Structure 1
């Protein structure tokens, strides 16, 4: 049985650190996508992640997956592959803070999707929050329009919004998956399915990266794995509703890393839109048990 003797402040700090490591991974992946393209950045990072996932599976002492678990692993792996390609392709064309703010619509979309697929009840608060969150997205895009972006920026924004929709699907599958498999098993098979799916196009698209790219690939995979461990520990020792708010610290990390690494500045419209989306999500997520599964769904 999980111990609850750890102080809430420590659990919160560990969860925030986990989110920070994922944000660092996003920054590393953005630089890799710009250098070697989205396909090769994802393919070779996933190859490293398979090895790290195998270690996690071994340490977790999980047994062989059931038939139901295998189906869920495959379904989630396929969704995550498409989600990751869309997200990182868009991230290479959109400032990090803006990209992260757009992904915040995923939790609300997941609540609505769960109502359709799992028969969960959706109250009027969720409906109102969804409309408000959509307004926040419009604010971000208005600000983008005022900055006179090129077509690449607009396509990047649409790509990230598409990724957010798939992320919502991912969260629903993750909820079912968490009931059928242990975290170590999930980490390994998700990495394996994504790598295998990407490898289908290897004959046409794969290019072995230069030596200079490999430290970044290993770093990106290591940051993602370490983040999952930290978040898993935090959610095992703290209340989901309390720790869910750490997800929104990613905006601060993204803004800081975007400025320091890529020289990106955060516009007032992005700040305002992100604030609207976050408030809407928090308003809708009073009973946000889906937040626990979201820590395993990050790409």
Structure 2
């Protein structure tokens, strides 16, 4: 097996695990408050993560940080993102919530231009605009009738808010990568998220039954395993090669939604998702082209 192929398979497995996590949240989301789900998800992510860091001999390195406050704010943004995404998963069909979440990489392009001062030219701005139009198509059935207080409308708004906050978290992560290891970023996010989510305990937490507890624990374990698989995938293949595989989540989500919940996405969701995915792939393609161009320019500028 070639190294790029190994990277692609690991990335596919990671996306599959993340979709399975979403399916579990969809299953238990109406019975367990979102804050409680976030707490279990964050805490039990630490278990496989620590085991992996110990196996890699990076445990001591991962626990060292130069920017504890940066991790705190990344955790704060991330926990609110998870809260809204999990709320959306509880109130919407799985494929629809997944399709709305695809707005995140498009919004992160805009945030990178605003907050990281990255140069984004007209081509990518156009792709972002087209992708966001696709998001509006997905949202239209929930808001077109003017009833913004329905359960589905609240779920759609929660999913979109989660995507916006996730894009903000991406910007914070990119800042942290200048000085922090991947292990530190993932570990402190899980730690801070657990502690912050615990603060929601007085606000309606429930005592779940055994089956629900197992599902809650599984969300954390799946999240940790998915994070490890994703990190490992980037060791074998370029990020630009692996990025399109994120969009396979819509395939897994549609299949899982039909098998587990008998959900079939409507035509507006399918059309909107196709537009969003297409725009996202254009952004990925453009960034890959720019990356290759910068590499050639650096090589040309390097003296023999």
| Bucket of the pairwise TM-score, normalised by the shorter protein | 0.7 to 0.9
| CA distance in structure 1 between the partners assigned to 2:248 and 2:277 by the alignment | 10
8 Å CA contact 1:56–1:187 kept in 2: the answer is no
- SS at 1:264 equivalent: coil
Confirm or deny that 1:66 pairs with 2:65.
yes
Match of 2:31 among 24, 35, 40: 35
User: 1:199-240 CA distances to partner (integer Å, 9 max, x unpaired)?
Assistant: 122234333432222221222111111111111111111011
8 Å CA contact 2:46–2:187 kept in 1: the answer is yes
Partner of 1:273: 272
CA RMSD of aligned residues (A): 2.2
Count of equivalent residues? 284
Partner of 1:116: 114
TM (normalized to structure 2)?
0.86
- Note the 1:126-145 alignment, pairs <5 A: 126-144=124-142
Partner of 1:50: 46
Partner of 1:81: 79
User: 1:236-272 CA distances to partner (integer Å, 9 max, x unpaired)?
Assistant: 1101111100000000011011111111101121111
Partner of 1:283: 282
Distance change >3 Å, CA 204–CA 136, structure 1 → 2 = closer
| CA distance in structure 1 between the partners assigned to 2:270 and 2:185 by the alignment | 35
Cα displacement (A) at 1:104: 1.1
8 Å CA contact 1:129–1:281 kept in 2: the answer is yes
- SS at 1:203 equivalent: coil
8 Å CA contact 1:57–1:188 kept in 2: the answer is no
Distance change >3 Å, CA 29–CA 250, structure 1 → 2 = same
Partner of 2:209: 210
Partner of 1:294: none
- SS at 1:287 equivalent: helix
Cα displacement (A) at 1:139: 1.5
| CA distance in structure 2 between the partners assigned to 1:142 and 1:189 by the alignment | 38
User: 1:93-119 CA distances to partner (integer Å, 9 max, x unpaired)?
Assistant: 111111111111111211111111111
Confirm or deny that 1:12 pairs with 2:12.
no
Q: Which ranges in structure 2 are unaligned for 5 or more consecutive residues?
A: 290-304
Partner of 2:295: none
Distance change >3 Å, CA 19–CA 75, structure 1 → 2 = same
| CA distance in structure 2 between the partners assigned to 1:231 and 1:129 by the alignment | 26
| CA distance in structure 2 between the partners assigned to 1:58 and 1:179 by the alignment | 23
Cα displacement (A) at 1:288: 5.9
| CA distance in structure 2 between the partners assigned to 1:216 and 1:275 by the alignment | 31
| CA distance in structure 2 between the partners assigned to 1:267 and 1:148 by the alignment | 19
Structure 1 outlier segments of 4+, above 6 Å: 146-150
Cα displacement (A) at 1:163: 0.7
Q: Which ranges in structure 1 are unaligned for 5 or more consecutive residues?
A: 290-299
Distance change >3 Å, CA 288–CA 78, structure 1 → 2 = farther
8 Å CA contact 1:97–1:254 kept in 2: the answer is yes
Distance change >3 Å, CA 222–CA 91, structure 1 → 2 = same
Partner of 1:297: none
Cα displacement (A) at 1:147: 9.6
